[in-house]
């Protein structure tokens, strides 16, 4: 047999067999993944085609621009290089397939004939191919270094890779190196044989020079064997990708297009599925009690997780020694989805899957073996959103956790028992403390001015600019009432006309919703929307000082036809300062650090206004904690955790106060009633333990800090032991 014919026969047959084998395998897996995703519940609100025009631009920016990845500069840049190398080097696959059937003389059509100033399109392509090949190897080296530095065998749970499939990561890095290396060998062989389409492929040319002088036939065999090996590596890499955490390479586009078109990230509002009791039957499922109860966009989330561990590294529960890792929760759900997949897609009958099909999605008690997600994992979440903020692929961790909670709370009445009192109080009294509507106006009694009370059906006076939503804590909690009074005084002194709902106000339902009691939340939301519309709040601005109320009314009430302009008190106070209507003139010699409330900061991106209020006080020395703004650390009260016991690991609020105390501040300021309570409790614990002198550090709301700079009577500022100024009433303790 002629040697050249044998060479061609080997190249074509072996190459075709390689493409057919791996291509068929990959196609079968893709068909299965599509069928599996279709087995999830539909979600018309997240239809890819319906929202395409609204989500396409953002998806392109996130994917092609690596916007979220680049928040972590070094790994972000490394990923950017590797990803764009992946795109650019797809052109080499076209060259490889062409060489497979045409021979080493194959060139991509037209590129050699298109030229500007003597530089052909092939010159540009060849240069880019080799440049990105080098950049990809640099990125791979960076990833390898990060993996060594973050080795969980050495760092334990402090490593963001703890719990990840480490071997898969190393296999992929190795495969990527082999893809680039065999590519350069293939191009080098073509160069040595005189078939190189461009001299601009500088690395390929170096390989070519190294191969010069080899017998031509031997060189052709080297090129042919290397070509088949290159295609086999690429094919194996594709199949491995479809079966591993690197599936995100193929699912990320669909996952990004399924995001909420009205939100830049999965924070702020929770997705609403309206509950109609009259339409419910015995087959109705509320929340997610089985993996197939999740919607298709959540299935895409599970398939897209890269196990990078950014979410885990920022999670307050994981950081303080609790069992919840957002990454591992998604991984466990993903693994269960794939284990149950053959039964969901009809490939296997139910009689074959007794163990898998009989598993609970969430356990009813800690350590339950037949549960996918442990009880303590689910209920450790504070819904702070740090996981979503850090996730480079915008996985909806919080929405998924709340969906799991909804099933446990509404379908099985399974939730931490101490939270039951909060739910009963909401139902019976309209607030989590059970104080009742009748006492919601008591906080106004120490004030030396009257506040109009809006009554349903009675139109507000034309000069009323704001409806002040006081919130449950601000109306009934003793510590929070002082902050409400400070805010009211500042608004009054600035000449702002505002009214309150008084006894007509009830809880927004946020604690019930985050606990999973969605039906109770929806009932309270509808009641509040009716009340707000009846007093004309849709024609005014609403100011709320509780970020949870602020978030709920602003972002979640529109799902119940409640469309309002809602501002946080920090935004209103900052604007009044900017307008010259509020001015602090008395220096306050204090070092202050500001704690970002999660539902004001991450969930609604209000970062500057609270700092502007504090910074307006002369003498203040502001200092930032390491974890601040979008990287802020939770106080531990969100996700209805305010009403649950915290018995595992270190208390979240203590962890946060430890960080604040490392700056040696005089004041810790914040802008949330829950944060104020949690931080104050942690400071009190430090005093009780003897590690902090009593009175050395105070926790104040930003409105209280501003008041201290306005020369108000000491008693009005809440300073213990101060006598009331003539004609002023004492502040209600």
For residue 609, the model assigns a pLDDT of 98
For residue 726, the model assigns a pLDDT of 32
* Secondary structure letter of residue 553 according to DSSP: I
Residue 635 has pLDDT above 80, yes or no: yes
Using pLDDT thresholds of 50, 70 and 90, give the confidence band for residue 349: confident
Residue 687 backbone class (left: φ over 0; alpha: ψ -120 to 50; beta: rest): alpha
What is the C-alpha separation between 266 and 330, in angstroms, rounded?
A: 15
What is the C-alpha separation between 290 and 356, in angstroms, rounded?
A: 11
The answer to whether the CB of 648 falls within 8 A of the CB of 321 is yes
Q: Phi and psi (nearest 5°) for 434?
A: 75, 20
Range in 298-307, 395-404, 687-696, 710-719 the model is least confident about: 710-719
The answer to whether the CB of 707 falls within 8 A of the CB of 489 is yes
Q: Which residues contact 165 (CB under 8 A, 6 or more apart)?
A: 244, 245, 307
Work out the burial of residue 351: count CB atoms within 10 Å of its CB; fewer than 13 is exposed, 13-18 middle, 19 or more buried: exposed
Q: What three-state secondary structure class fits 517? A: coil
Residue 496 has pLDDT above 80, yes or no: yes
Model pLDDT for residues 586-603, shown as the tens digit of each residue: 999 999 999 999 999 999
The answer to whether the CB of 389 falls within 8 A of the CB of 265 is yes
Residue 728 has pLDDT above 60, yes or no: no
What is the C-alpha separation between 451 and 442, in angstroms, rounded?
A: 12
For residue 544, the model assigns a pLDDT of 98
Residue 721 has pLDDT above 70, yes or no: no
Which secondary-structure segment (H or E) carries 622? strand 620-623
Work out the burial of residue 662: count CB atoms within 10 Å of its CB; fewer than 13 is exposed, 13-18 middle, 19 or more buried: exposed
Q: What is the mean pLDDT of residues 546-575?
A: 98
- Sign, CA dihedral 366-367-370-376, equals positive
Three-state secondary structure string covering 624-648: CCCCCHHHCCCCCCCCCHHHCCCCC
Q: What is the mean pLDDT of residues 171-188?
A: 96
Find the distance separating the first CA and the last CA of the chain, reported in whole Å. Answer: 101
Residue 729 has pLDDT above 90, yes or no: no
Structure token pair of residue 296: 């298709």
Of 1.10.3470, 1.20.1050, 1.20.120, 3.40.190, the CATH number of 426-576 is 1.20.1050
Share of the chain residues as helix, strand and coil, in percent rounded to the nearest 5: 55, 5, 35
What is the DSSP pairing of strand 115-116 with strand 119-120? antiparallel
Number of continuous H segments (helices) and E segments (strands) in the chain: 29, 12
For residue 606, the model assigns a pLDDT of 98
Number of Cβ within 10 Å of residue 190's Cβ equals: 27
Model pLDDT for residues 124-164, shown as the tens digit of each residue: 999 999 999 999 999 999 999 999 999 999 999 999 999 99
So what's the architecture of 579-717 in CATH?
Answer: 3-Layer(aba) Sandwich (3.40)
Look at the block and give the residue holding tokens 């963001």. Answer: 160
Look at the block and give the residue holding tokens 């086999």. Answer: 232
For residue 102, the model assigns a pLDDT of 94
What is the C-alpha separation between 459 and 533, in angstroms, rounded?
A: 10
Work out the burial of residue 43: count CB atoms within 10 Å of its CB; fewer than 13 is exposed, 13-18 middle, 19 or more buried: middle
pTM of structure: 0.93
- Topology match between the domains 286-411 and 579-717: no
Half-sphere exposure of 472 (CA within 13 A, CB side): 20
Structure token pair of residue 276: 């109609």
Tell me the C-alpha to C-alpha distance, in Å, between residue 663 and each of 218, 615, 670.
70, 17, 16
What is the C-alpha separation between 473 and 486, in angstroms, rounded?
A: 14
Structure token pair of residue 59: 């998806």
Q: Cite the beta strand spans of 102-218 per DSSP E.
A: 115-116, 119-120
The answer to whether the CB of 323 falls within 8 A of the CB of 374 is yes
Q: What is the mean pLDDT of residues 425-444?
A: 96
Q: What are the residue boundaries of the structural domains of the chain, listed by start?
A: 3-39+66-243, 286-411, 426-576, 579-717
Of 1.10.3470, 3.30.2390, 1.10.1060, 1.10.730, the CATH number of 286-411 is 1.10.1060
What is the DSSP pairing of strand 541-544 with strand 466-469? parallel
Q: What is the DSSP string of 304-362?
A: H-----HHHHH-HHHHTT-S--HHHHHHHHHHHHHHHHHHHTTSS-GGG-HHHHT-EEE
Q: Phi and psi (nearest 5°) for 403?
A: -60, -40
Residue 676 has pLDDT above 50, yes or no: yes
What is the C-alpha separation between 184 and 141, in angstroms, rounded?
A: 18
């Amino acid at each position: 047999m002629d040697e050249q014919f044998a060479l061609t026969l080997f190249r074509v047959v072996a190459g075709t067999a390689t493409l057919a084998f791996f291509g068929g395998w990959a196609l079968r897996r893709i068909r299965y993944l599509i069928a599996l995703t279709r087995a999830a519940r539909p979600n018309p609100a997240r239809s890819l085609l319906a929202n395409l025009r609204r989500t396409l631009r953002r998806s392109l920016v996130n994917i092609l621009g690596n916007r979220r990845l680049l928040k972590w500069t070094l790994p972000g840049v490394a990923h950017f290089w590797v990803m764009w190398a992946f795109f650019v080097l797809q052109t080499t696959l076209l060259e490889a397939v062409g060489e497979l059937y045409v021979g080493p003389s194959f060139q991509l059509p037209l590129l050699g004939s298109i030229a500007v100033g003597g530089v052909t399109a092939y010159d540009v392509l060849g240069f880019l191919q080799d440049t990105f090949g080098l950049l990809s190897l640099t990125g791979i080296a960076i990833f390898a270094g990060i993996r060594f530095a973050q080795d969980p065998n050495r760092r334990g749970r402090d490593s963001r890779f703890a719990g990840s499939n480490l071997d898969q990561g190393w296999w992929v890095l190795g495969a990527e190196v082999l893809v680039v290396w065999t590519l350069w060998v293939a191009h080098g062989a073509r160069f040595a044989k005189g078939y190189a389409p461009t001299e601009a492929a500088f690395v390929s040319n170096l390989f070519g020079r190294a191969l010069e002088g080899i017998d031509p036939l031997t060189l052709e065999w080297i090129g042919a064997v290397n070509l088949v090996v290159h295609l086999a590596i690429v094919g194996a890499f594709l199949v491995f990708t479809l079966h591993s955490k690197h599936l995100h390479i193929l699912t990320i586009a669909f996952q990004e297009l399924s995001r909420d078109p009205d939100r830049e990230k999965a924070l702020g509002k929770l997705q609403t599925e309206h509950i109609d009791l009259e339409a419910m039957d015995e087959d109705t499922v509320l929340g997610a009690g089985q993996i197939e109860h999740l919607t298709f966009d959540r299935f895409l989330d599970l398939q897209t997780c890269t196990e990078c561990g950014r979410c885990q590294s920022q999670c307050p529960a994981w950081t303080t020694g609790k069992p919840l890792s957002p990454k591992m929760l998604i991984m466990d759900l993903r693994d269960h989805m794939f284990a149950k997949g053959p039964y969901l897609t009809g490939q296997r009958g139910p009689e074959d899957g007794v163990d898998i099909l009989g598993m609970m999605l969430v356990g009813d008690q800690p350590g339950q073996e037949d549960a996918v997600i442990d009880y303590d994992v689910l209920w450790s979440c504070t819904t702070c959103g740090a996981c979503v903020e850090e996730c480079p692929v915008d996985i909806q961790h919080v929405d998924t956790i709340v969906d799991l909670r909804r099933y446990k709370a509404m379908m099985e009445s399974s939730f931490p028992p101490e939270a039951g009192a909060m739910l009963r109080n909401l139902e019976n009294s309209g607030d989590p403390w059970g104080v009742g509507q009748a006492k919601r106006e008591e906080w106004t009694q120490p004030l030396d001015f009257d506040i109009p009370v809006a009554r349903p059906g009675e139109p507000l006076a034309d000069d009323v600019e704001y409806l002040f939503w006081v919130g449950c804590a601000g109306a009934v909690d003793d510590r929070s009432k002082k902050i409400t009074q400070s805010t009211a005084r500042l608004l009054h002194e600035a000449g702002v006309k505002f009214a309150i709902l008084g006894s007509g106000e009830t809880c927004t339902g946020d604690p019930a919703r985050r606990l999973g009691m969605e039906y109770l939340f929806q009932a309270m939301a509808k009641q509040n929307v009716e009340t707000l519309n009846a007093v004309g709040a849709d024609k005014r601005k609403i100011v709320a000082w509780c970020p949870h109320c602020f978030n709920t009314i602003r972002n979640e009430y529109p799902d119940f036809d409640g469309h309002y302009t809602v501002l946080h008190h920090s935004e209103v106070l900052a604007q009044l300062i900017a307008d010259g209507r509020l001015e602090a003139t008395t220096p306050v010699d204090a070092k202050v650090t500001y704690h970002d409330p999660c539902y004001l900061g991450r969930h609604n991106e209000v970062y500057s206004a609270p700092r502007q209020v504090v910074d307006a006080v002369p003498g203040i020395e502001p200092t930032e904690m390491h974890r601040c703004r979008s990287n802020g650390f939770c106080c531990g009260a969100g996700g209805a955790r305010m009403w649950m016991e915290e018995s595992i690991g270190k208390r979240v609020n203590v962890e946060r106060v430890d960080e604040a105390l490392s700056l040696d501040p005089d004041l810790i300021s914040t802008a949330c009633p829950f944060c104020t309570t949690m931080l104050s409790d942690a400071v009190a614990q430090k005093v009780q333990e003897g590690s902090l002198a009593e009175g050395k550090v105070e926790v104040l709301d930003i409105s209280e800090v501003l008041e201290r700079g306005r020369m108000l009577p000491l008693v009005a500022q809440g300073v213990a032991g101060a006598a009331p100024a003539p004609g002023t009433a004492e502040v209600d303790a």
